[in-house]
């Protein structure tokens, strides 16, 4: 693979939200997760944890529990009940229709602990940044396997619900969810911000 091939590979990863029903072999999932864990992490503490869900009844249980919380949040936003129902249904269907759902959590147990708020917060952010690296690597590994995937933020808004529904260890703090499957859509070309407005060279 040339550098240009690699750049092309990185630039062609896209979020995919519609999947074929085809199952993903366990060996592929294992490979993707292992590659995810090769991401850089603060102090190399590898604070990421993964919950992999393929069982329909578990996906339904999770989608229902998260849906209740999502609905409550949306109702507080004073949007129409039709719009609330649409959003909640779409979110539920996405989880149920994804062949594989992976919840990434962070576990602060192995991170440094500090007596003061400022450093505690920085350490927490470092764990979250580390998990984001693993998440990005997971998406790219899925792309390498010809899979589609999307990062979904909803577990961050329903941390306790996700933890309780899946019976995750108390130290696992859900951060995000990745939906994976063989793609059943071609995403629209995405507009990119002008690099000149994003970079300052000194
Ligand atoms: C932190 C983060 C949270 C995201 N949350 C969601 C989400 O909840 N639902 C969703 O459909 N996409 C979500 N996305 C995907 C973005 O919408 C997507 O990456 C962006 O539109 C750019 O498109 P691309 O991934 O195809 O390049 C999220 C992405 C990131 C990095």
What does the domain layout of the chain look like in residue ranges?
Answer: 12-53+99-184
Residue 180 has pLDDT above 90, yes or no: yes
Report the separation in Å between the CA atom of 158 and the middle of ligand 1, taken as the mean of its atom positions: 17
Q: What is the mean pLDDT of residues 179-183?
A: 98
Q: What is the mean pLDDT of residues 161-186?
A: 98
Residue 171: how many other CB atoms lie within 10 Å: 14
- How far away, in angstroms, is 56 Cα from ligand 1 center? 24
Nearest CA to ligand 1 atom 31: 151
Architecture label for domain 12-53+99-184: 3-Layer(aba) Sandwich (3.40)
Which pLDDT value is given to residue 145? 98
Burial profile 135-145: b = 16 or more Cβ within 10 angstroms, e = fewer = bebbbbbbbeb
Q: What pLDDT does residue 78 have? A: 84
Nearest CA to ligand 1 atom 7: 152
pLDDT tens-digit series, residues 55-85: 999 999 999 999 999 999 999 998 899 999 9
The pLDDT assigned to 106 comes to 98
Q: How far is the CA of 36 from the centre of ligand 1 (A)?
A: 18
pLDDT of residue 64: 97
């Amino acid at each position: 693979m040339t550098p240009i091939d690699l750049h092309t590979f990185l630039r062609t990863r896209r979020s995919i939200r519609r999947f074929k029903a085809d199952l993903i072999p366990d060996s592929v999932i294992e490979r993707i997760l292992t590659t995810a864990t090769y991401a850089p992490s603060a102090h190399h503490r590898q604070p990421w944890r993964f919950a992999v869900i393929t069982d329909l009844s578990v996906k339904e249980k999770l989608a229902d529990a998260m849906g209740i919380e999502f609905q409550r949040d949306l109702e507080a936003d004073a949007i129409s009940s039709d719009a609330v129902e649409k959003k909640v249904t779409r979110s539920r269907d996405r989880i149920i229709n994804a062949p594989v759902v992976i919840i990434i959590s962070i576990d602060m147990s192995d991170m440094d602990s500090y007596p003061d708020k400022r450093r505690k917060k920085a350490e927490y952010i470092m764990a979250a940044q580390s998990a984001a690296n693993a998440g990005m690597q997971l998406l790219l590994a899925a792309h390498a396997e010809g899979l589609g995937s999307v990062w979904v933020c909803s577990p961050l808004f329903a941390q306790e619900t996700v933890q309780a529904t899946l019976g995750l260890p108390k130290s696992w703090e859900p951060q995000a969810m990745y939906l994976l499957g063989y793609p059943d859509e071609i995403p629209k070309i995405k507009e990119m911000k002008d690099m000149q407005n994003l970079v300052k060279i000194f």
